[in-house]
Amino acid sequence: MIMERETRVSVFESENPTEIQLIKSKLTVGNVTSFLNDKYMSFTTTPTAKTIRLMVNLQDEQKAFEIIDAYLKETDLDLNINFKN
């Protein structure tokens, strides 16, 4: 039996570990398995800057984007309410 290697794609990037964990938990609740892929940024930033990528299996990409978009819209809504007060 030949095991196929899963193709993973990046669905969210941030330098903020708290933000990454929040999105990761949203994906978990939505039954999307995600993986962290943190690497030092390339020449575009300082050597100490670090970006973290949230990866999902290719077949979960669409669902992951839907979950992330819904979360970001909720967050924008909350921010708009806070700005009005």
Which CATH number characterizes residue 59's domain?
3.30.70.790
Query: What's residue 76's pLDDT?
Result: 74
- 6 has a pLDDT exceeding 90: no
User: What's the one-letter identity of residue 54?
Assistant: L
DSSP secondary structure code for residue 2 in this structure: P
The tens digit of pLDDT for each residue in 11-65 reads: 999 888 888 999 999 999 999 999 988 655 455 555 556 788 999 999 999 999 9
> Which pLDDT band holds residue 5 (cuts at 50, 70, 90)?
confident
Q: How many CA atoms lie within 13 A of 35 on its CB side?
A: 12
Asked whether residue 3 is assigned to any structural domain, the reply reads no
The answer to whether position 74 is within a domain reads yes
pLDDT for 65: 97
pTM: 0.73
| Residue at 2 is within a domain | no
